[in-house]
């Protein structure tokens, strides 16, 4: 079942790419990306149960890593157009796409200025008695296209994919897994604990009546450093856990508008 998820992800994206040759709406393209995304996450989660098996069967692990790398690259390319799928009629950020826009248009960034509509203009009646959901016809400045929720979400999605791929590749390789645990996390932890020890000793050497000691008792830098250390360990454990790998990318934005590139 684990390997089937990889094939499912490739099949979903391949069907979408074939549809791009004719027409596929931006809404359906985002649905395709979401389905392939969850196939990738399901496969990544399954690798945890297969870790020891892959340690002993390196040939199968290597083939899986190659397929994972190909799916990772395909997902990154597929996510790029969704940066401009900010079509929710409740949004006040503007949009370059509507639900029925041709998804193929958004693979070319030079077309975005021609399609960009500022907030509200995509949703106002162009004339009395006109189509309420008709897009604006004029060209608008797209300088704010990279400040929308959809654009930020697609960057976060790509970062999550990169972290998922990297952590799975490391954990399925015994040498890399041991090295990351002993040389990275443990060495950083020891260095930080050494810093805490030095700060604590420096605080103990201060005279009781000194201004510096009073300032230390007010601002409590040692407590702050301990908080940073514990927070860092918490996030390190979270980023390497299955919980982070199966976190949802983002909610699907539903639209009701008509448009074309």
> Residue 36 has what pLDDT?
93
Positions of the chain with pLDDT lower than 70, given as ranges: 1, 88-92, 118-144, 181-182, 239-261
> Residue 130 has what pLDDT?
47
Q: Give the three-class secondary structure for 102.
A: strand
**pTM for the model:** 0.69
How far is it, in rounded angstroms, from Cα 43 to Cα 242? 11
Strands (E), 25-120: none
How far is it, in rounded angstroms, from Cα 200 to Cα 196? 6
Q: What is the 3-state secondary structure (H, E, C) of 103-135?
A: HHHHHCHHHHHHHCECCCCCCCCCCCCCCCCCC
Per-domain residue ranges of the chain: 1-183+242-261, 184-241
H or E stretch covering 245: helix 242-245
């Amino acid at each position: 079942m684990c390997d089937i998820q990889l094939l499912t992800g490739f099949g979903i994206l391949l069907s979408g790419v074939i549809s791009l040759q004719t027409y596929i709406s931006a809404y359906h393209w985002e649905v395709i990306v979401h389905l392939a995304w969850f196939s990738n996450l399901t496969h990544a989660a399954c690798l945890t149960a297969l870790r020891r098996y892959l340690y002993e069967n390196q040939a199968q692990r290597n083939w899986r890593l190659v397929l994972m790398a190909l799916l990772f690259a395909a997902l990154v390319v597929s996510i790029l157009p969704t940066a401009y799928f900010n079509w929710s009629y409740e949004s006040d950020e503007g949009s370059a796409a509507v639900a029925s826009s041709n998804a193929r248009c958004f693979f070319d960034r030079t077309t975005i200025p021609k399609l960009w509509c500022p907030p509200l203009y995509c949703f106002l009646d162009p004339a009395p008695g006109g189509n309420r959901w008709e897009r604006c016809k004029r060209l608008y400045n797209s300088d704010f296209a990279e400040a929308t929720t959809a654009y930020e979400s697609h960057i976060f999605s790509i970062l999550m994919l990169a972290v998922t791929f990297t952590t799975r590749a490391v954990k399925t390789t015994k040498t890399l897994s041991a090295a990351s645990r002993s040389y990275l996390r443990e060495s950083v932890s020891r260095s930080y604990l050494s810093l805490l020890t030095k700060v604590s000793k420096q605080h103990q050497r201060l005279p009781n009546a000194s201004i510096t000691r009073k300032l230390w008792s007010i601002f409590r830098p040692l407590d702050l450093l301990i908080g940073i250390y514990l927070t860092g360990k918490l996030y390190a454990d979270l980023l390497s856990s299955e919980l982070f790998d199966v976190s949802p990318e983002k909610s699907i934005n539903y639209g009701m508008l008509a448009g074309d590139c």
